[in-house]
Amino acid sequence: MKKYISKFHYLTQDLPNRSHADQAHIACGAGANWIQYRCLTKTDDELIAEINEIAAICDDWGVTLILANHYHLLDRVDAQGVHIEDFDADLAAVRKHIGDDKTLGTSATNIESLLRVQATGVVDYCGYGPFAHTDTKPNNKPLLGFQGYRELQKHPVEMPVIAVGGVQLIDVDPLLETGVYGIAVSAAVNLAPNPATALREFYKKIY
């Protein structure tokens, strides 16, 4: 089942001075059409309460809500899908658990892993990175840079690929010129002096 995948993925993050719900409210008001709720610090009961709050906000604005990693909660909340960050996850098992109607995204850091994800036949899109240095989701994987996305054109990549990891506004045009499907951002919006303005600038460049 082919799903709608936005070209602009906005990710919430754990911040000391702004809740995930507040981040979602700002993003929806600024024009985001796809929000990934990425919280790594709460219990299931706390997650469910916050997801329900965010889901109500997203419903008001007609925005797609994706959960980062917590696919076991999908049948208890109003979210449209899940993004799995675990490179070793059994994606076929995740798909079986969530059903065919929910959107399933995952992550890859090199062309080999991206092609393996595609070959499963159960994933709707793939976040591909890191593009540049990021403190939001630190790892020791090589930075792809623009050339890493240009390399995709040499391979039979058919699924939507989302550039992620340290993407700044100035990077959007050259990234899209590589042929990548879309862009994911977190800190570039969340840590900006005015997050709503920052998000609008990204949205205008992508759409």
Q: Worst-scoring range by mean pLDDT, 31-40, 96-105, 129-138, 185-194? A: 129-138
As a whole number of angstroms, the distance between CA 169 and CA 184 comes to: 11
pLDDT in the model for residue 138:
65
Mean pLDDT, the chain, integer: 95
**Residue 131, pLDDT above cutoff 90:** yes
Residue 192 has pLDDT above 80, yes or no: yes
pLDDT in tens, 47-79: 999 999 999 999 999 999 999 999 999 999 999
The answer, yes or no, to whether residue 41 has pLDDT greater than 90, is: no
C-alpha to C-alpha distances, 17 to 53, 56, 119, 138, 194, nearest whole angstrom: 18, 21, 41, 21, 14
Asked if the peptide bond before residue 130 counts as cis, ω within 30 degrees of 0, the response is: yes
